[in-house]
Structure 1
C-alpha cells in the first residue's frame, strides 16, 4: 500500500509507523501540483499539513484513496464532505499541538502588552529609550477573552489563570453545565460575544473557518473592543478581517495584534504590504502550533492513525 506525504513530517515517525508500506515523502510536493497529482493517483493514503488542498482535481484523481492524515487540527483545506461521500477517513492530529498554540498565545500576549522587547537595535546603537518603554503593561490582572472554548483554548485559559488573569470565553457549542467552565485550576466565565469583546484586554481566537465565522472580527467588532486591547489570531485565516486590523493599529483603535494565520497563505503582495509600518504587530507564518516537540507528537499521532486504518485495525 502506498502513502504519499506532501509536507514536512517527523522522519522518525515515518520510519516507525510505516514499516512495510510504500512511502513517498517529499515536502516539496505541496508546491508541485502536477507531481503531487501523479503520486496521489495510486495512493492509498495522503498525509498533509495546511497548504495541500485535498479537494477538486487532486481528490478526484486519487481513485484508490482510503484515508487522509492531517498534521494539525484544521480541516478547511480538506473537502471533508467529499471524503465522507467516498468513504475516505480523515484523521486530524487532535490535541497534539494544543500546548504549542497555547504557549504562542500567552507569549505573544505578554510581548505585546509589555512592549519592551524591540529595543535591541536602539540599545546597540547607543540610545537608552527607558522612558519611552516605561508604560508597558503586566499580564497579571488583565482579562483574557477566548472566542471558542475547545481544547486549545482551555490550555490557554489554564496558563492565563496561572499568570493572574481572569478568563472569559464565548462558545455556543459548549453547554452551560459543561464542567469545562469550572476546571480544578480556576473558573472560566461564559459570555456573549459582544460582552466578551467589550470587556477583554486580550482577545484570542480559537474557532474553525466556517461560513458563520468568516470575517467575524472586522471593523465593527474591533470598534467594540477597548482602545488598548490586544488581538491574537492563531486559529484560521479568514476569521479576521486583516485590512481592518491594520487600520485599527494605525489609528490607535487596537493596542496590538498577533496574526499567525491569513486569508491567503503564504502572505504576499498587497495583502502583506497592508501591514507595513503597523505599530505593535507580530506576524508569523502559520507556525503557532509547530514546535520541535509538537512536530514529533503530531507526526506520531497522524502516522499511527493512518497505519492502523490501512492495516484494518
Structure 2
C-alpha cells in the first residue's frame, strides 16, 4: 500500500526523506492520507475525512481544529521536545538582555566617532549599568520539555529557581533536577520572583492565566517572559502593569498591536523554534510519528487520541476509532467471533469521549477483510476502521 503525505509550509528535507519512496508519495494527490505541517492555519484550510492523521512539526497545536479532527477520526500529533533546546537558548539570551542593556549599548557605541573613542567609552558606559542574574529568583511556569531545560539553565547561571506545574508528567518529573524545588501553587511562583517565564501549552483552561489578578501578586519591577503561546497572558493587563511600574519589562514571542507599540516590551517574531536544528528535529520526528501510525496503527504523542502501542506481529491488524461508551469492545469482538476470527492480541484505550481499539488476528483474504470492515462500520458509534497488513 502507498500513502500520500501533503505538506504545508517549508518542511526540512531531512523530514521528507524519512518517507520511503517505494511506499510513500509526497504532495502527489488531492486526497492525501496525512498532512505534515508547521504553522499552517488548519482552521481555515479545507481537509476531508480521507486525512487519517495530521502531524505538527512543533509543540504547539492551536492552529489545528481538534474537535473536527477527533469527530472525523483524524489523529493529531505534535513533536514535544523537538525545539526545546532552541527555545531554551533564546530564553537564556533574553534573560541576559533583560538584565544587561546590551543592545542599547551597542547602538550607542556605533554612533561614536573621532579620536577620543576610548574617552567616550569610559564616560558613556555608565549609562548602561545592568544587574546580574546570579542570585536572582526566577519562577518557571510549566516544567515540560522546554520549561525543565530553562529551569536547569537558569540554575546553572546561579539563579534561585522555583518551578510550578500541576500537570507535570512522570517522565519530566524524573528528568527534573532535585536542585529545583517545585511550588505548590501559582502564587508561590509569582510572589517573590524577579523573573517569571511561561512554558505551558495553550488551552482554554490556560487562557489569560496571567492577567490583572496574577500580575498584582508579582514582585514590583519584575520581568515577565512568555515564550509559550499567545493568549496565555492578557496583553492589555500586562501593558497596564508596565505603565504602573508593576512590571519592569515584558518579553514575548507573540505580538499584538498593544504589546508591540509599548516602549517597555521586547517582541520577537515567533523565533522560539526557528533554528536549523529545531526545524530538522521537528520534521524528522513528525514524519516518523506519521509513519508509525500509518503503517502500524500505533499512536504516540497525539494531542487528541490516547497513547496506544502494541507490537505488530500478527498478519492482520484492525484499528477502530469509536466513541467511548460501554460495551463497544464487546460489540466489536462479537462480530469477529461470529465470523470465527480468532483474536491474537488486543488493546483498548480511551481519552475523554473517544476510544481506540487495536486487534491483531490471522490472515484473511481481501474479500473477507472488506466485508469485515463494512460490518464493523455498521456499528453507529464506530468512526473509522482500518485494516493493516504485516509484510515483515
Q: Is the 8 A contact 1:42 1:63 kept in 2?
A: no
Q: 1:203 to 1:93 in 2, by over 3 A?
A: same
Q: 1:300 to 1:282 in 2, by over 3 A?
A: same
Tell me how far apart the structure 1 counterparts of residues 271 and 197 of structure 2 sit (CA, whole Å). Answer: 16
Query: What residue number does 1:133 align with?
Result: 128
1:1-80 to 2 correspondence within 5 Å? 1-20=3-22, 21-24=24-27, 42-50=31-39, 52-55=40-43, 58-59=46-47, 62-80=48-66
Tell me how far apart the structure 2 counterparts of residues 123 and 148 of structure 1 sit (CA, whole Å). Answer: 38
Q: 1:58 to 1:182 in 2, by over 3 A?
A: closer
Query: What residue number does 1:291 align with?
Result: 275
Tell me how far apart the structure 1 counterparts of residues 276 and 189 of structure 2 sit (CA, whole Å). Answer: 34
Query: What residue number does 1:209 align with?
Result: 202
Query: What residue number does 2:295 align with?
Result: 311
Q: 1:18 to 1:119 in 2, by over 3 A?
A: farther
Query: What residue number does 2:188 align with?
Result: 195
Q: Which runs of 5+ in 2 are unaligned?
A: 113-119, 298-392
Q: 1:66 to 1:164 in 2, by over 3 A?
A: same
Deviation at 1:214, TM superposition (A): 0.8
CA offset digits 1:210-236 (Å, max 9, x no partner): 222111212232222122211111111
Query: What residue number does 1:31 align with?
Result: none
Q: Is the partner of 2:77 in helix, strand or coil?
A: strand
Q: Is the partner of 1:304 in helix, strand or coil?
A: helix
Tell me how far apart the structure 1 counterparts of residues 31 and 81 of structure 2 sit (CA, whole Å). Answer: 30
What TM-score does the superposition give when structure 2 sets the normalisation length? Answer: 0.67
Query: What residue number does 1:239 align with?
Result: 232
CA offset digits 1:145-177 (Å, max 9, x no partner): 1112222111111111111112112222238x9
Q: Is the partner of 1:307 in helix, strand or coil?
A: helix
Match of 1:89 among 66, 69, 75: 75
Q: Is the 8 A contact 1:181 1:190 kept in 2?
A: no
Q: Is the partner of 1:255 in helix, strand or coil?
A: strand
RMSD, aligned CA: 2.5
Tell me how far apart the structure 1 counterparts of residues 144 and 137 of structure 2 sit (CA, whole Å). Answer: 18
Query: What residue number does 2:327 align with?
Result: none
Deviation at 1:274, TM superposition (A): 4.8
Which structure has the larger Rg over C-alpha atoms? 2
Q: Which runs of 5+ in 1 are unaligned?
A: 26-38, 263-270
Q: Is the partner of 1:309 in helix, strand or coil?
A: helix
Q: 1:18 to 1:91 in 2, by over 3 A?
A: farther
Q: 1:181 to 1:294 in 2, by over 3 A?
A: same
Q: 1:74 to 1:242 in 2, by over 3 A?
A: same
Instruction: Answer yes or no: is 1:103 the counterpart of 2:89.
Output: yes
Q: What is the total number of aligned residue pairs between the two structures?
A: 285
1:222-233 to 2 correspondence within 5 Å? 222-233=215-226
Larger RCO: 1 or 2 (CA < 8 Å, sep 6+)? 1
Q: 1:4 to 1:222 in 2, by over 3 A?
A: same
Query: What residue number does 2:382 align with?
Result: none
Q: Is the 8 A contact 1:158 1:185 kept in 2?
A: no
Query: What residue number does 2:213 align with?
Result: 220
